[in-house]
Amino acid sequence: MSSNDVLIEKSEGAKQIEKLCHAIAVELGLELEPMYWSFEFVEPPESERHILNIKAKNGTTTEIRFSRAEIEAYPMPYGTEKTNKKIKMELEDML
C-alpha cells in the first residue's frame, strides 16, 4: 500500500462516507461498532481496493468496497448518489 492509499483513507471523503454510514444506520435502526478501513492490493489501481469494514451490534458484518476515485469524489455533488445507494444497500442487508 502506498502512502497515497493511506492518505485517501484519512481524507475528507472517507470521513464523510463514514458519517453517511452512521446516518443511514440510525435511519435503519442499526447500531454500529466502530468501523475501520482496510486495503486490498488488486489491479488495476482504479479498482475498488479500499474497504470500509462495518460490524453491527447485532453481530452482522459487511465490507463496502470503494475505488480511490469514489472516495475522492464523495464530497462533490456528482460523487454522492452512487455511493449513497451502495452504502444503503449494504446496510439494509445487515438487518
For the entire predicted model, the pTM comes to 0.89
Q: Tell me which amino acid residue 94 is.
A: M
Across the range 9-23, mean pLDDT stands at: 93
pLDDT in tens, 25-65: 999 999 999 999 999 988 887 899 999 999 999 999 999 99
Q: How far is the C-alpha of 8 from the C-alpha of 68, rounded, in Å?
A: 7
**pLDDT confidence of residue 20:** 93
CA dihedral (9, 78, 31, 66) in degrees, to 10, reads -40
Q: What are the beta bridge partners of residue 66?
A: 50
Q: Has residue 4 got a pLDDT over 80?
A: no
Write phi, then psi, for 27 (nearest 5 degrees): -60, -35
The SS3 of residue 87 is helix
